[in-house]
Amino acid sequence: MITSYKQLRQVVDTTVANTKITDVHTHLYSPCFKDMLLWGIDELLNYHYLVAETFRWLNIPYEDFWSMDKKAQANLIWKTLFEDNSPYSEACRGVLTTLKKLGLDVGSRDIDSYRSFFAGFSVEDYVDRVFEVSGVEKVIMTNNPFDQEERDIWLNSYVPDSRFKAALRIDPLLIDTCNALNKLKDWGYNIEDELNDNTYKEVIRFLSEWIERMDALYVAASLPYDFCFPDDSVSTKIIENCILPVCMEYNIPFALMIGVKRLINPDLKLAGDGVGKGSVESVEYLCAKYPHNKFMVTMLSRENQHELAVSARKFRNLLVFGCWWFLNNPSLIDEITRMRFELLGVSVIPQHSDARVLDQLIYKWEHSKNIIADVLYDKYKDLMDTGWRISEDEIERDVQKLFGGNFWTFLSAKF
């Protein structure tokens, strides 16, 4: 049993540091996806979070930046955000934490020496290194069957790697349905001109084939802030008639990521999205109307977090996950994690990385783990103050659930 605050602190820190993580949502790819797997200093610097921050200082036309090669873009981002200003934004600091944890001399500010370091690795060795340094054991990819490059790999050269699991991402079916259905037609599915039972059957066939091909752990969509369910839109029809039945058949969750304001500045390309408040009522409707379906939900707006956590108290088929994208900042992770632990106890996935560059697993988890450890320490300390006695095993049990167990249990649950 833990007998002092000092011992508690030490057990929490060690357990959080040593527990292997399942990262439930990333944009990473296994090595068989070749160039789609991004890594190294130039990719780290070209992260779209940093591109957005760089443009706050640049006066050049957007096109001039986009026409530069990756190395020149990285140099400009480095100069603007790291040399001309202090890099304490979360995305900048992340680059430095990553370099530090890889053993590089952050104080040297010598970007070319960082480049030489990365050039010394094969991709396979580097993947091993990042998994080891970050403490991540498995990552869930974001797999888009509508992307031609990705599709070709799945069809021709995919090699399973037990560290990288798939999630079937179907945004085009919901936000660009007409074009998505035309693609299905091109690929030989018998899609009719209207959304009728035959068309739904063929969409279901498409989804089933890809779930099986990818061995997808869940089906996912990133949805706009004004996503509303139900309504009389095409996306409601596809969700009702295709996605929910397929998820039910395979007993896999439908993951909804709600709150994007797409391309509020199109000149910024991937960096041009914003955030808006979403409808928790839609999530509640889904959970209540489809009690045998499972839903994983993360929302992008800070204002939605409390309401979403309350909904999760009401629906066992709702698993809340992560501090997504613009919420992945220390002050907000701290606030949201505290509130979730207070409302939901251990029954939540406190974080996912959303890493797009392999190396980001290192900083995203390092930063989040430190905050989660602080919050856990406070919560266990409050328990100790009541006279409740806590063992090291119980802390390990809880942290294992938070860092992966809850996800795997939810996948196998049948409601």
Residues at the interface with Zn ion (CB under 5 A): 354
Q: How far is the CB of 159 from ligand RAT (least distance, A)?
A: 24
308 or 395: CB nearest ligand RAT: 308
Q: Which helix (H) or strand (E) holds 250?
A: helix 244-250
Residue 285 is a binding residue for ligand RAT (CB under 6 A): no
Torsional class of 404: left (φ above 0), alpha (ψ -120 to 50), beta (otherwise): left
Q: How far is the CB of 88 from Zn ion (least distance, A)?
A: 24
222 burial level (CB within 10 Å; 0-12, 13-18, 19+): buried
Alpha-carbon Rg for the chain, nearest whole angstrom, is 22
| Among Zn ion, ligand RAT, none, residue 356 binds (CB under 5-8 Å by kind) | ligand RAT
**Residues 7 to 36: which contact ligand RAT by CB under 6 A?**
27
Q: Contacting ligand RAT (CB under 6 A), which of 222, 293, 304, 347? A: 222
Q: Contacting ligand RAT (CB under 6 A), which of 138, 183, 356, 364? A: 356
Nearest to 112 by CA among 139, 66, 147, 78: 78
How many residues belong to the site for ligand RAT (CB under 6 A)? Answer: 7
99 or 356: CB nearest Zn ion: 356
43 or 354: CB nearest Zn ion: 354
Residue 379 CA: distances (Å) to CA of 134, 141, 277, 340, 375: 25, 32, 29, 12, 6
Residue 53 is a binding residue for ligand RAT (CB under 6 A): no
The SS3 of residue 164 is: strand
Q: How far is the CB of 220 from ligand RAT (least distance, A)?
A: 8
Q: How far is the CB of 354 from ligand RAT (least distance, A)?
A: 4
Report the alpha-carbon distance of residue 206 to residue 95 in Å, rounded: 39
Report the alpha-carbon distance of residue 358 to residue 314 in Å, rounded: 36
144 or 199: CB nearest Zn ion: 144
Site string for ligand RAT, 128-157 (x = CB under 6 A): --------------x---------------
Q: Which residue has the tokens 């839903």?
A: 295
Tell me the H-state helices in 61-108: 62-66, 70-77, 90-101
- CA dihedral sign, ordered 230, 232, 236, 242: positive
Q: Contacting ligand RAT (CB under 6 A), which of 23, 42, 354, 359? A: 354
223 or 402: CB nearest ligand RAT: 223
The footprint of ligand RAT (CB under 6 A) covers: 27, 142, 222, 257, 325, 354, 356
